[in-house]
Amino acid sequence: MEEQFFTDQDNQNFENPEPQRPTGLTIACVLSFINAVWQFFSNLLWFTAYNAMRELSQTEEYDEMLENFSQDIDLLNSTIQNQLAVSRISYLLLALLYAASFYGVLQMWKLQKQGFHIYAIAQILLLIVTAVFVTSVTGESIVGAAVLTALWIGIYFIFYKKRMQ
């Protein structure tokens, strides 16, 4: 009867158990995956459609088109004009940095410490690119983005110290 308790010993590694991803890290990674994918495709779309949008914004049909999308034409037009005021290359840079951020989160999902470093560097570079190309043109503040970036890096740093290999 005692042998039944030890029959699975060969199938389990008791000395080095597989590290388990904490629930908090799982939630943080899923949210970061969603953000990185959304931002990647958004910036890639703006990069690819930039010239067409610039040409369209200079036609007579532009105002008619805006009326079909929103009641507040002035707000929509202002938003589109701010997007077009930003350099086209910045959208490509942002898309690439969000891809790097995604890769860093993927590595953290696998509990790899290098993922934290990739993620943190990508996020800091995203702030720099945003400050240089976006906020310098639109006049928006980067403080909110910097606080959120510091918060997320801080969250991942906690898991980095405790759980990642």
Rounded distance, CA 88 to CA 111, Å? 35
The domain limits of the chain are 23-162
pTM of the predicted structure, to 2 decimals: 0.80
Rounded distance, CA 110 to CA 20, Å? 10
78 pLDDT band, cuts 50/70/90, is confident
Rounded distance, CA 82 to CA 137, Å? 8
Q: Which residue do the tokens 């590290």 mark? A: 19
Q: Please, are residues 76 and 70 in contact by the beta-carbon 8 Å criterion?
A: yes
Q: Which tens digit of pLDDT belongs to each residue from 12-22? A: 555 656 778 89
